[in-house]
Amino acid sequence: MIWVIRLLVAGFAALFVIIGVRAMIDPQSIITQFELGRQGVTGTSAIRADMGGFFIGTGIAALVGLFPGKRQWLLGAAGMVALAFLGRAIGLMSDGITANIAQSMIIEAISVALLVAAFAILSPRRREELAAEKTAEIERQRLAAEEERLAAEQNDMIAQNEAQLQRDRDLAQPIV
């Protein structure tokens, strides 16, 4: 489970970094994708800096959050995406919705849920609980194997005792 969540977060982070790098290197593709309209030099610079920085920063924060002791970075990334979602929600109330806006909001909502879930799942306390459960299961298996061994020994002893009793009875019989 932990590796699945790590892979999902890594995939999210890679996607965001790729979008951010694309915004910096090829802002025209971002202008088209996000329907930003015609931009001058200042607008293109803002797309490179603001959108590129947002996406790369969020992706890197999510990646850093995967390292031991750094899971709080996942909440930072979740907060950034939640703010983007909030901005879209405000726009939704005043400007309406398009298919691209709905798609972006769904991706952002899933991303926030993923990052918050990863924060909870990657909790040191949760890892300790999982380790304790695994240790308890191993101990249960060891005890079950020990019980089986003891039962087998007891059955062997009973069989040996019965065999000895039969020999004693046979020896006690007079030979005719």
Quick one: 143 and 97 in the same domain? no
b/e 25-34 (16+ beta carbons within 10 angstroms → b): eebeebbeee
Sequence-distant (6+) residues with CB within 8 A of 167 are none
Quick one: 110 and 45 in the same domain? yes
Quick one: 9 and 41 in the same domain? yes
Alpha carbons 144 and 137: distance in angstroms, whole number: 10
Q: Are 71 and 123 in contact (CB under 8 A)?
A: yes
Mean pLDDT of 27-34: 87
Give pLDDT tens digits for 104-157.
999 999 999 999 999 998 877 666 777 778 888 999 999 999 999 999 999 999
Q: Which amino acid is at 140?
A: R
Quick one: 33 and 112 in the same domain? yes
Mean pLDDT of 52-76: 95
Quick one: 23 and 54 in the same domain? yes
Give pLDDT tens digits for 71-104.
999 999 999 999 999 999 999 999 999 888 999 9
Show the CA angle centred on residue 80, arms to residues 3 and 67, nearest 5°. Answer: 30
What is the model's pLDDT at position 32? Answer: 86
Query: Which residue range is the domain that position 54 belongs to?
Result: 2-122
Tokens encoding 49: 């800096």
Domain count, the chain: 2
What is the model's pLDDT at position 144? Answer: 92
Q: Say whether pLDDT at 37 is over 70.
A: yes
